């Protein structure tokens, strides 16, 4: 919570009939949603774009930038962007509501396209460490001041350690982006919690 003005929500895919993953965003409707969020005690959000094909994700990121730039009240509420995907584990249970067909291994060139479309507003990227070979994209993002979060993933403990070493610092909705039934003695929740000194967790 922002001690002065209200809560900060790091993942808002949409609210009150406004979908940040829509192919079109109308500034007046986004402004109305921002006012409603303020009225309900929210100070700031990260507008979140989820997995789709890269062209669609780039359009949606650019739309968010456009409406932010059109209105200072929108910019004050939407303090940045959270890119969730497309570098996620496509297996059932881990992929959650993301379209498995659009999930893909991480690569720096694709990440650059997404960051460029987001116009310098990206604050968090959620990816699956096991889809980021040698944690290259994680290291690239961390080196450019973007927080990297694990999510929708099933990395080994070694892969998690490598990602943390490269700059991973968050975990997106731990316990939600995984199957309802997990192995008793070795599962992603145990592995992630074993690194609780290095990671901050979101459980939604």
pLDDT digits (tens, 9 = 90+) for 48-83: 999 999 999 999 999 999 999 999 999 999 999 999
- Name the residue ranges covered by the structural domains of the chain: 7-201
To the question of pTM greater than 0.85 for the whole model, the response is yes
Question: What is the CATH code of the structural domain delimited by 7-201?
Answer: 3.20.20.140
Q: What is the DSSP string of 162-182?
A: HHHHHTEEEESSTTTSS-SS-
Whether the per-residue pLDDT at 4 is higher than 70: the answer is: no
What pairs with residue 48 in β-bridges? 82
- d(C-alpha 128, C-alpha 180), whole Å: 18
Please state the φ and ψ torsions of residue 117, each to the nearest 5 degrees.
-65, -30
DSSP 119-167: TT-EEEEEE-GGGSGGGHHHHHHHHTT-EEEE-S----HHHHHHHHHHT
pLDDT band at 173 (very low <50, low <70, confident <90, very high): confident
pLDDT at 2: 55
* 92-133 pLDDT per residue, tens: 999 999 999 999 999 999 999 999 999 999 999 999 999 999
Q: How far is CA 157 from CA 46, 161, 169, 172, in A?
A: 29, 6, 15, 17
Q: Are the C-beta atoms of residues 69 and 27 closer than 8 Å to each other?
A: no
Tens of pLDDT, residues 10-34: 999 999 999 999 999 999 999 999 9
Helices 136-143 and 157-166, packing angle to 10 deg:
30
Three-class SS state of 78: strand
């Amino acid at each position: 919570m922002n001690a002065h003005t209200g809560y900060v929500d790091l993942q808002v895919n949409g609210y009150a009939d406004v979908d940040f993953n829509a192919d079109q965003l109308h500034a007046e409707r986004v402004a109305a949603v921002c006012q409603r969020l303020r009225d309900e005690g929210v100070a700031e959000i990260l507008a979140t774009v989820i997995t789709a094909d890269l062209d669609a994700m780039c359009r949606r990121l650019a739309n968010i930038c456009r409406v932010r730039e059109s209105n200072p009240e929108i910019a004050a509420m939407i303090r940045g962007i959270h890119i969730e995907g497309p570098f996620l584990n496509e297996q059932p249970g881990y992929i959650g509501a993301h379209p498995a067909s659009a999930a893909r291994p991480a690569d720096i060139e694709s990440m650059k396209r997404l960051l460029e479309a987001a116009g310098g507003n990206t604050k968090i990227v959620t990816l699956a460490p096991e889809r980021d070979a040698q944690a290259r994209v994680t290291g690239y993002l961390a080196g450019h001041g973007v927080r990297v979060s694990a999510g929708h993933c099933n990395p080994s403990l070694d892969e998690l350690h490598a990602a943390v070493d490269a700059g991973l610092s968050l975990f997106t909705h731990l316990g939600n982006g995984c199957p309802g039934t997990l192995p008793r003695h070795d599962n992603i929740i145990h592995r992630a919690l074993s690194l609780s000194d290095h990671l901050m967790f979101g459980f939604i």
